Chain A
Amino acid sequence: MTAPTMLDWAVVCPLDLLDPDRGAAALVDGVQVALFRTGGELYAVDNLDPVGGAYVMSRGIVGSRGGVPTLASPLHKQVYDLRTGRCLDLPDVALRRHEVRCRNGLVEVRLRQEG
């Protein structure tokens, strides 16, 4: 087996379109991605709520739990670690993560084709 397939970086939007501490949904290669800008970092996870099954994660509230940057699902408030995607309230539940960076004032995302 080789490492997970990496697609190319896709330019999404200027950084200043992302409000601090508030998510935004983006469509990257047909996949809904939730982008967050919080605590000076950028995070990208799947927009799909793995528990509720709706594409809503970009509308959750970001915050922190014991120093860990977090995202709470707007449907039923399960809290996820934005760095790892791991759900902090339910075992064996996780958000798929994607790579995200800022280049020349533009936010870029590279999908991770895990699993």
Chain B
Amino acid sequence: MPTTFRLSLLTALIGATLLTGCSKSGTDDNIVKIGSASPLTGPQAHLGKDNENGARLAVDEINAAGLTLDGKKVQIDLIAEDDQADPKAATTVAQKLVDEGIVGVIGHLNSGATIPASKIYFDAGIPQISPSATAIAYTASGFNTAYRVMTNDKQQGSALAEYAISQLGAKRIAIVDDRTAYGQGLADEFERAAKAAGADVVAREYTTDKSTDFMAILTSIKSHDPQVVFFAGMDPQAAPMIKQMKQLGVNAQFLGGDGMQTPKFIDLAGADAEGAIASNPGLPLAKMPGGEAFKQKFNARFGEIQNYSPYAYDAVYVMVEAMKRAKSSDPVKYLAELPKTDYQGVTGHIRFDSKGDLTGGAVTLYQVKAGQWQPLQTINSK
């Protein structure tokens, strides 16, 4: 009985898919559907909504200015979906967007969601531009549909290692990561770059993304007397870690990635946060070529910028520019134009390498001074 039920459900689903597939050709040719996928519920909802708003601002501007492809006036329709920052939900959302007949997608927000979804867009031949996924695995799969407008973890790890060695003069480095896809990837890239630059990795320790007790591993690290302790993970771990370093008297510079470059880190670590250094991909908003103008437009309509909305905004423009060059919104045609992208966006100059990664993207380092993250310097990656 359940088998028959499942079978009939499957048949119904396939039928529905075929129907939507058919209806695609029947829709209004003047509407071009673009998907936006990000977490719109849950703890990262504020970031997800921010990405959607960034994309929406661009879409509305393009529509207001009027978009003409091959002599035909077209209107862009942005379809926003909630992937809950969850890999499983992300694939469902991706399939739903594909079924709805989108010709491109801006997203997803998290690497963990972007990577499984990228396979679905690739199979459907639909170009995908992520504004914020930094994991190397995303573009390493060899999918010609996967692009990102942000520096990846390799670029960030290299920039951090370069800074630790050339600016902080570190010879002895200890590394801790939280064993998540993000932490592990960033720590590996940092370690590789640090070793290549001649530094000695004296300790490699691990924790989890739920731990708050690091006394044991920090004591072990202390016995190796490092000059820099690099942590790849998120702020709720970075904050107690720096506190416990101070308690144990570990006299090393605390360094981290974008996961801890947040106001929450300073809130949780209090005075102990002082002097910590962390990176964030991209330029600080104030340094972005179009940062100020974007901020004014965005604030007027949606309020404060959370983090990645300028990248989502640029991603839409990059996609539409490719359509203009191809004189078509057909994914097959404009996908061929994406590698030729040479676009001056609000976040910077956007060009892609053969994998779909941003070339020449920047990584900015920040330091906590007087209870605020202050930009230290921007490193342009290769």
Partners in one complex: no
